Amino acid sequence: MHIPDGILPAQVCVGGYAIAGGVTWYVLRRIRQVSNPTEEIPKAAMLAAAFFIGSSINIPVPPVSIHLVLNGPLGVVLGWYAWPAILIGLFLQAVLIGHGGLTTLGVNAVMMGIPALIGFQVFKLRHQVGKGWSMTQSVGVFAFLAGAIALGLAALIFFGLIVFTIPAELNVLEERSALTALMIAHIPLMFIEGIFTLMLALFLLRVKPNLLDNPG
């Protein structure tokens, strides 16, 4: 789902950096409001490494291949810290393994990071919507929704960017057909990421529940 260099027009890349800069400012402001902002850094660093590895592994789904994004699990476990973790992970992927690109770093961060923050907010709804449920039920349901929604939103942003910026010299119909096939392939991935997020959240609830209590 990473967008490489040379695909998007320059104005879209600039816009991506502008939005990413604004989100970074807002997120860092929220992080500074935490009583001990540095306490979550080791956890964020560990999950940034997991994001770096997990989103670099392709999964064949004929006739295309896809890869895990893991922005939902990062949103659930890290809260606001998911944004810097994803931003750093994307930068290292672009520099070290050529996955994505530097000109599209801002766009890729927006595409994966904002849905992660939305997933974080979805997971927090368990405190209101899940009242009266058991802890296991509320954590499981909203972790699944957070993982699936975060991946689905990232996929929608990706396909929207690509479809509306297809160069005129390419066969638009053929390109859109290929993109449609790729979009369909991401539907089962939504469920995979949702189930993975659910399993991770339930595991943490059992062994270290305080890791799921993110401020904000």
Whether 2 maps to a domain, the answer reads no
Least confident of 16-30, 45-59, 134-148: 45-59
pLDDT at 187 over 90: no
33 vs 166, more confident: 33
Q: Which domain holds residue 45?
A: 10-212
pTM, whole model, 2 decimals?
0.88
Give residue 131's pLDDT band: very low, low, confident or very high (50, 70, 90). confident
What CATH number does residue 145 fall under?
1.10.1760.20
Classify residue 162: in a domain, yes or no.
Answer: yes
Backbone angles phi, psi at 64, to 5 degrees: -130, -175
Between CA 138 and CA 130 the distance in angstroms is: 5
Residue 77 lies in a domain: yes
23 in a domain, yes or no? yes
Q: Is the pLDDT of residue 49 over 80?
A: yes
Per-residue pLDDT of 96-112, as tens digits, reads 888 888 999 999 999 99
Is 5 a domain residue?
A: no
Q: What is the mean pLDDT of residues 154-159?
A: 88
Q: Taking residues 189-206, what's their average pLDDT? A: 92
SS (H, E, C) the chain: CCCCCCCCCHHHHHHHHHHHHHHHHHHHHHHHCCCCHHHHHHHHHHHHHHHHHHCCCEEEECCEEEECCCHHHHHHHHHHHHHHHHHHHHHHHHHHHCCCCCCCHHHHHHHHHHHHHHHHHHHHHHHCCCCCCCHHHHHHHHHHHHHHHHHHHHHHHHHHHHHCCCCCCCCHHHHHHHHHHHHHHHHHHHHHHHHHHHHHHHHHHHHCHHHHCCCC
Residue located via tokens 């260099």: 5
Return the pLDDT at 64: 44
Instruction: Report if residue 150 sits inside a domain.
Output: yes
Count structural domains, the chain. 1
| pLDDT (0 to 100) of residue 66 | 61
Q: How confident is the model at residue 72, as a pLDDT?
A: 93
Cβ neighbours around 57 below 10 Å, total:
8
d(CA 160, CA 200): 30
Indicate if the pLDDT at residue 77 is higher than 60. yes
Q: Lowest mean pLDDT of 31-35, 79-83, 87-91, 203-207, name the range.
A: 31-35
Mean pLDDT of 78-100: 91
Q: Is residue 3 part of a domain?
A: no
- Residues in contact with 198: Cβ distance below 8 Å, sequence separation at least 6, in sequence order: 140, 143, 144, 147
Greatest distance between any 2 Cα atoms in the chain = 57
Question: Is residue 1 included in any domain, yes or no?
Answer: no
Q: Which two tokens stand for residue 52?
A: 């770096």
Instruction: Give the pLDDT score at 137.
Output: 92
What's the confidence (pLDDT) of residue 63?
Answer: 42
pLDDT tops 50 at residue 88: yes
Is 53's pLDDT higher than 70? yes
Mean pLDDT of the chain: 85
